[in-house]
Structure 1
Amino acid sequence: MTTRTALLRAFAAAFAEKGLEAPEREARALLRVGLGLSDLDLVARGEQEVAPVDAARLRALAERRAAGEPLARLTGRREFWSLDFTLAPETLVPRPETETLVEAALALFPDRRAPLRLLDLGTGSGALLAALLSEFPAAFGIGVDLSPGAARQARENLAALGLAHRSAVMVGHWAQALAGGFDLVVSNPPYIPSTDIAALEREVREHDPLLALDGGPQGLDAYRALARALPGLLVTGGHAVLELGIGQEADVAALLAAAGLRVEGPARCDLAGIARALIARKP
């Protein structure tokens, strides 16, 4: 007989042996997702037997997790801003630090009923766009991604969240083929310097799409493209909120200022204290 507790202990031991951070927490998360359980189920009903077919499925998932595959890739799902998103191989796994952009946008537009026009460049799973549309019920938003697979997944996620009627998703290279008129433009662009890709954590390096990571030799290629495009995309007084990599604030701020935008710094920090969301305004 295989119980929930037995699987939890076995998975935690395997994860610890492979050097995963917080192996017991990882094991609990795998069991919760894999069996649709709550933490209470694991604690109060830990001795409940797990069906052989479920135990075999969970062991296979645990082997993949121990080998470095992220839990979000195993399940194909990730929560962001308390919303549930399905992932595709072409989409980045949404990170908690990206929620800093949503917080910055909410602070810029305190009137939640405003009929805003939103644009998310490099939308990926559509997480940023969906989060903003959920907070601004009178807004309409467009997501753009270079990857057809990512654009398709974003479209499906927005539909699943009941936001299809207030959104559109396009395949394109940044702002090409787009006219202006946006009150808010957000973007979590690729910002890892090309030479740093090989040194990324295995979970990121091997399982996130390179297109969403590689920012060119200095990690600034996408920001240069955005700086060129933003003055023509924003209405007068409109804002852009861009995610930053570690140590990029000064360089990105200089690019935006050179394009005629007013940088409203310093950047908003994430929970780790890292400058994460840089705001610029079209005068």
Structure 2
Amino acid sequence: MIAALTAAQAMVAATARLRAAGVPDPARDARVLLAHAARIEASRVTLIAPEELPVDIAERYDQLISLRAIRVPVSHLLGEREFYGRRYQVSRDVLDPRPETEALIEAALSEPFDHVLDLGVGSGCILITLLAERASASGVGVDLSEVACLQASANVVQHQVQARAEIRQSDWFANIEGQFDLIVSNPPYIAAEEMSALSPEVREHEPRMALTDEGDGLDAYRRIAASAPDFLIPGGRILVEIGPTQGAYVSALFDAAGLSDIRVIPDLDGRDRVVGARLPLTKRN
């Protein structure tokens, strides 16, 4: 039996455990996980701080802190992650939505589009956000992982865009027909040799196939660049998320594929984050 503690005492103890385990920002995580254990909004934690935790909540909290101490991501413990103002169901089977990916969203929304293709749909956060922000648009999301497709489908229904979204299992363009005026992707771009430097939360708890191509981190861009022109309407755009050092290489791939208006777009931290390009209205000679 866990000794009776107030919520404030439990948070202090939890913060110390997480700090000792090397968890970044342990006080924040201790607070968020207490709210989850108590099934209240995080903003209400202060209100229960002086109160003794009921046994069931204390035990649930202790389990959550134990898992976080071995670096299970908070999003996996909560079962959800916020992205562009919406909450998405997540698990270890899909890549966690990340704030830097919002740079891709902003670039996509800077111009009109009607029909979007999301390559490597994962949780569905990119496709769903674009459809939610553009009520007249429709789209297709594909992923090689069947489990990821199921997760994306659940999020599509949760955000009520199922009438305009189709999720398919596909190896990039293999099961795609037709053309689109917008193609987006956040592909695996971490080189195999860089994997060991990732945080334990990412390296040990997110799907490896969504992180790395087991090579130089650029294979997905080669495959996307080779096929994208066949699936874009004239004037259609492509936007891909990149690692901060990959802008020049991906730009060169897009140029070699006959795409134009190529630009590298930074994220809010000023790091190269997105490469955008367009299929010319007329083919180059």
User: Which whole-Å deviations, capped at 9, do the CAs of 1:23-75 have from their partners, x for residues lacking one?
Assistant: 11121121223323334422233112321011101101101101111101112
Q: Distance between the aligned counterparts of 1:45 and 1:73, measured in 2?
A: 24
Structure 1 position 272 matched with structure 2 position 275:
no
Task: State the partner residue of 1:120.
Answer: 118
Unaligned runs of 5+ in 2: 281-285
Alpha carbons 2:251, 2:262 under 8 Å: kept = no
Distance 1:171 1:237 in 2: 27
Match of 1:105 in 2: 108
Q: CA offset at residue 182 of structure 1? A: 0.3
Normalised to the residue count of structure 1, the TM-score between the two structures is 0.94
Q: Equivalents in 1 of 2:39, 2:103: separation in Å?
A: 29
Alpha-carbon contact 2:7-2:52 (below 8 Å) kept: yes
One-letter amino acid matched to 1:281: R
Alignment pair present for 1:135 and 2:138: no
Decide which moves more: 38-47 or 24-33.
38-47
Aligned partners of 1:43, 1:175: CA distance in 2, in Å? 50
Q: 2: distance between equivalents of 1:182 and 1:216?
A: 29
Partners of 1:270 and 1:33 in 2: CA distance? 31
Tell me the equivalent position of 2:283: none
RMSD in angstroms over aligned alpha carbons? 1.3
Partner of 2:183: 185
Pairwise CA distance, 1:156 = 1.0
Long gaps (5+) in structure 1: none
**Partner of 1:59 in structure 2?**
62
Q: CA deviation at 1:263?
A: 4.1
**Corresponding residue of 2:30:** 27
Aligned pairs for 1:166-185 within 5 A: 166-185=164-183
Number of the residue aligned with 2:257: 259
The equivalent position to 1:162 in structure 2, one of 156, 160, 163, is 160
Normalised by the size of structure 2, how large is the TM-score? 0.93
What residue is the counterpart of 1:195 in the other structure? Answer: 193
- For 1:272 and 1:57, locate their aligned partners in 2 and report how far apart those are by CA, in whole Å: 37
Identity of aligned residues (%): 39
Are positions 1:47 and 2:50 aligned together?
A: yes
2:97 aligns to what SS in structure 1? Answer: coil
Query: CA contact under 8 A between 1:143 and 1:168: conserved in structure 2?
Result: yes
Instruction: Answer yes or no: is the 8 Å Cα contact 1:180–1:235 preserved in 2.
Output: no
* Counterpart in the other structure of 1:152: 150
Equivalent in 212, 215, 218 of residue 213 of structure 2 = 215
Shift of 1:87: 1.4
Count of residues in Structure 1 that have an aligned counterpart in Structure 2 = 277
| Paired amino acid for 1:18 | A
